[in-house]
Amino acid sequence: MEIKDYQNFKFQQPYQQAMYYCSLILKDQTWPWVERLDVLPHLNVEDLTNFAPMMLSQAFLECYIAGNIEREEAESMVQHVEDVFFKGPNPICRPLFPSQFLTNRVVKLERGMNYCYSKEGLNPSDENSALVHYIQVIVLVGDSIFNAFSFRNHFIFHKDNDLPMILY
């Protein structure tokens, strides 16, 4: 995103902002837009030039291939990518150590707990407000957790209307 996109975030519809804050709660490691905006003015070309090789010095690849493709072809494609990154005469990078793998991609909301993230609207000239009602159903299979079902209701409230409009 460009700086202007971050600056314009506060002018998005309230339900879009509410969904964004919901995603911040549900993801384990994220930077909120306001933190990104604070960092951007301090970056320069030299910082980015130095960052690219450092970023590629170690990597973790996880591939998802879907569509009209045979299993063997998909595995061959992944193997080729892994060979380019990690093997050969001039590997691009080293693999991450297992302890560096991201363990939680989706936060498991604990049973019986209620979470509320209240945030005042960012655009004072927008009379609308929004509420996201999020329900998470988890399925445990052995030691594995599957996010089997997520349901979100978006309630949009207008200043002059007592009844919410519900979006699915």
* Residue range 34-43: mean pLDDT, rounded: 86
Amino acid at 27: K
Enter the tokens of residue 44.
Answer: 């320069």
| Residue whose pair of structure tokens reads 């506060």 in the numeric block | 10
| Residue whose pair of structure tokens reads 């879907």 in the numeric block | 66
Query: Does residue 82 register a pLDDT over 50?
Result: yes
Q: What is the pLDDT of residues 105-138, one digit of tens each?
A: 667 777 777 777 788 888 888 888 888 887 776 6
Share of the chain above pLDDT 70, in %: 77
The reported pTM is 0.58
Q: Where are the domains of the chain?
A: 13-27+109-168, 30-101
